[in-house]
Homo-oligomer: A and B are copies of this chain.
Amino acid sequence: MSTAQLIDGKAIAQAIHSETAARVAALKTKGITPGITFVRVGEDPASQAYVRMKGKKALELGIKSDTIVLPEATTEAELLALLEKLNADKSVHGILVQAPLPKHISETKVFSTVLPSKDVDGFHPVNVGKLLLGEEGGFKPCTPAGVHELLIRSKIPVEGAHVVILGRGNIVGKPMAAILVQKAKHANATITVLHSRSRDIAEHCRRADILIAAMGQTEFVKADMVKPGATVIDVGVNRVTDANDPRGYRLVGDIDFKAVCEVAAHVTPNPGGVGPMTIAMLMANTATAAEAAA
């Protein structure tokens, strides 16, 4: 039985990081040091880990990074005031407010307060609008932009392909569809978006040339939902209790990896697939923000 070729997200992310490091170096010769500020509210351990990881990578690439940690009890008004200050600060090219935020703070308000030109996360409505309209000059959300780069750099044909996306979240599913449906090079895909209310999900999945699983359900995509020869991208990160793991859990994707590898032609491992790409696109976006401000 054949086994799928793995899409090496780590290597592709590394290639993008090298490009970003070169762009950062070029900016520095002009006296500009790209800067990103992370804002974290409360003490969610996963958020702490994410921000730490992103800050470390920024440093490696020569990007100046600051992390501002606010207490859980911070009011929405206080957070918005901080963002206005960062918006006005010329040394800050990118601002990332780490989700999730405490329930008393509106993520919608927060994301739309960050200046679109500093919204390296790509969550501001103006950037989302530009994305859907196919306009240049906006930032694309990092995870779907990362998946797109994975496909392009792995030479998976996207144009004319039928891409089936499982999940319609604002972070992955919907912007992913918006990226791939455009009349543009490396896009031009036929798009189907499935979600919790969809019928005949397995049947739809089996028609996909490229299947992107981003609904956050442990090993949802089984081998019999995959067309032989398809490309399967696993965006999911799900916690499964595991007494043998020192953390008490392990992370599992949205696809039944081993079984899917027997049917698909190209599969992303998880971890090591989409994950590293998200941070690669964040760093690339930060360089872009600094270049635009130069």
* Chain A residues at the B interface, C-beta cutoff of 8 Å: 108, 124-135, 138, 159-160, 162, 168, 170, 174-175, 177-178, 181-183, 188-200, 204
Contact = CB atoms under 8 A, between A and B. Distances in A.
A7 B284 CA distance: 49
Nearest to A201: B190
Contacts of A174: 132-133, 178, 181
Identical subunits present: 2
A54 to B, nearest CB: 23
A88 B127 CA distance: 25
A63 to B, nearest CB: 26
B190 A159 contact: no
28 contacts: A108-B133, A108-B135, A124-B129, A125-B125, A125-B126, A125-B133, A125-B138, A126-B126, A127-B129, A128-B133, A129-B129, A129-B131, A132-B132, A132-B174, A132-B175, A133-B170, A133-B174, A160-B198, A174-B181, A183-B195, A189-B197, A190-B192, A190-B193, A190-B199, A190-B204, A191-B192, A191-B193, A192-B192
A105 to B, nearest CB: 16
A204 to B, nearest CB: 7
B162 A181 contact: no
A181 B160 contact: no
Contacts of A124: 129
Contact of A129 (B125, B190, B192): B125
Nearest to A137: B108
Contacts of A128: 128-129, 132-133
B170 A195 contact: no
A193 B178 CA distance: 10
A178 B125 contact: no
Given A194-B190, A199-B190, A170 B134 contact: yes
A128 to B, nearest CB: 4
B199 A188 contact: no
**Which of A133, A135, A162, A175 has the largest number of chain B CB atoms within 10 A?**
A133
Closest 6 CB pairs of A and B: A125-B129, A129-B129, A128-B129, A188-B197, A190-B198, A192-B192
Contacts of A129: 124-132
B135 A130 contact: no
A201 to B, nearest CB: 9
A199 B189 CA distance: 9
A99 to B, nearest CB: 13
Contacts of A196: 183
